[in-house]
Structure 1
């Protein structure tokens, strides 16, 4: 693992207070769970912890938290030891390229991670090599480059995505089975932050206002828009390669 693989973006603990948002994501991720799950860039364990109720039903036999930052990896291990994360969780301190080739997963999850990776297409090609036949690749990322703001720069984002840009980097042998834009109610607020407020890291008060107000509206509004509008994007691919060999 690279010695400089250290997270130096905004304080993740501030965003971890967005309980409604992460609960919303967890509900959308849950149908795609499998026996072996790889979470790339697990960070401080926010989404891992929110997935705990869905992991508890026995579908998941192992959840690997892949995290390159040494301190965050140590924190994840402590969370598992204390019972804050499910007992099926393990931690791998490194990058996807560090995993042995024989390690295969039924779901590989990138939750607000792919936008941090410069070679995103190469990353997804490597991920596809670690999918079981019939396995799934799930990416959730910020949407629309016209919303790219000071917060994106501070968070070391290389880009935001659309349906077309995500589909353009999908590995061969993977079939798109779901694509949704999320958080439609927050589009105007994100644009206002970009054009007028020009804030980097949002304050805790702003996070709470977004999470308790706009996210709750989005959970109702997103289905009404048929998930065609939103400041985030969720895509899921199904691995069709070698599926007939099962």
Structure 2
């Protein structure tokens, strides 16, 4: 992503509604996983999610992160995550095999997403699970995607097909951030129409009250996702298993 946007990203990623609610959903999914599981966070940024896993009782020495950004990995190490490495997510060179691989908003940054998934599959233990989140719907493409250096956005069917093609079995899939889809869609279309999309700063919201409301909204959605799948949303995800 662009340097200025990355700097802002690192400043807000702990408390921002988007990042915090997604971490909470993943943490709920992993809450009952054996605490000696070996976990890899692809595109780990400053290691906030890995620190949350540590607080849940997962062993620090079994928590790994990779990111293409040297600044992100420096932040990781400053946060106490020593198994953090600067690597290209299309070609992760680690000797370890993992019980859990998490890739939150990473695949869309990679030019060859099939090569990346194939690489991730090789790092996953038999019986292990992969949790992949990506931005949804090319119709939502905007300047936010440009500054984040995205190559594409996905439908849920496209993401499932790419994972299945690499011999993974889908155990759950859905869209995420369902409630805000319509207002975000309208805003982005209006931005393009008015030629003002360069003013858009994506999902980073500084207002404390707005941040609190949006966080509560997505935490409610997280609860609903335990029982249902959403038909559309700003993001989509799959949980896939290596059989």
Question: Structure 1 unaligned runs (5+)?
Answer: 1-5, 241-246
**Alignment counterpart, residue 104 of structure 1, candidates 97, 102, 107:** 97
**1:76-100: per-residue Cα shift (whole Å, max 9, x none)?**
11111xxxx6xxx521222242414
TM-score if structure 1 supplies the norm length?
0.79
Match for residue 232 of structure 1?
A: 235
* Contact 2:104–2:132 (8 Å) recurs in 1: yes
The number of equivalent residue pairs is: 225
* Contact 2:20–2:215 (8 Å) recurs in 1: no
TM-score if structure 2 supplies the norm length?
0.80
CA distance in 2, matches of 1:229, 1:184: 6
**Alignment counterpart, residue 50 of structure 2, candidates 43, 48, 60:** 48
Secondary structure class of the residue paired with 2:180: helix
The answer to whether structure 1 residue 219 and structure 2 residue 222 are counterparts is no
Please report how far the alpha carbon of residue 182 of structure 1 lies from its aligned counterpart in structure 2 after TM superposition: 1.1
Secondary structure class of the residue paired with 1:169: helix
* Contact 1:187–1:231 (8 Å) recurs in 2: yes
* Contact 1:179–1:236 (8 Å) recurs in 2: yes
**1:19-52: per-residue Cα shift (whole Å, max 9, x none)?**
4433432332233456111111111224334444
Change (3 A) 1:94 1:226: closer
The answer to whether structure 1 residue 117 and structure 2 residue 110 are counterparts is yes
Match for residue 79 of structure 2?
A: 79
Please report how far the alpha carbon of residue 135 of structure 1 lies from its aligned counterpart in structure 2 after TM superposition: 0.5
Aligned-residue RMSD, C-alpha: 2.7
Match for residue 243 of structure 1?
A: none
* Contact 1:180–1:228 (8 Å) recurs in 2: yes
**Alignment counterpart, residue 26 of structure 2, candidates 16, 20, 29:** 29
Question: Structure 2 unaligned runs (5+)?
Answer: 192-196
Please report how far the alpha carbon of residue 106 of structure 1 lies from its aligned counterpart in structure 2 after TM superposition: 0.6
Match for residue 194 of structure 2?
A: none
* Contact 1:140–1:235 (8 Å) recurs in 2: yes
CA distance in 2, matches of 1:73, 1:60: 16
* Contact 2:14–2:48 (8 Å) recurs in 1: no
CA distance in 1, matches of 2:22, 2:205: 21
CA distance in 1, matches of 2:24, 2:203: 26
Please report how far the alpha carbon of residue 61 of structure 1 lies from its aligned counterpart in structure 2 after TM superposition: 5.3
Change (3 A) 1:7 1:40: farther
